[in-house]
Amino acid sequence: MTRSAKALFVGAIVCATLLLPEASRACSVCFGPEEEGTLSAGLNAGIAVLLGLVLVVQVLVVCFFVRAIRRSRRSAEAPATPAETSP
């Protein structure tokens, strides 16, 4: 595919998206249904739980790295103790 063909293809997609907004919308869960129902409320709650889980995992990963950096700095600043020798 040549460069001009790619540009034409991308331009056609952009024009279609702007001229036909109904066709470019996502499903009713992402866009929002016209009337609220229990199904969409349950799906929205499920999405919120999954996003919360991702957030918790990311926070735990950041906490792990912060703790590892602090421990390495603390051990680097601590005076080295000589090895004990037996008489």
Contact call for residues 47 and 29 (beta carbons, < 8 A): yes
Report the distance separating Cα 56 and Cα 60, nearest Å.
Answer: 6
Helices (H), the chain: 3-19, 21-24, 28-31, 38-77
The pLDDT, as a whole number, for residue 64 is 97
Q: If we measure between CA atoms, which residue out of 53, 50, 72 comes closest to residue 61? A: 53
Which pair of tokens denotes residue 20?
Answer: 């036909």
Model confidence over 27-82: pLDDT tens digits? Answer: 665 665 566 677 778 888 899 999 999 999 999 999 999 999 999 998 888 776 66
The pLDDT, as a whole number, for residue 62 is 97
Q: Is the pTM of this model over 0.75?
A: no
* Residue 69 CA to its chain's centroid (Å): 24
The pLDDT, as a whole number, for residue 49 is 95
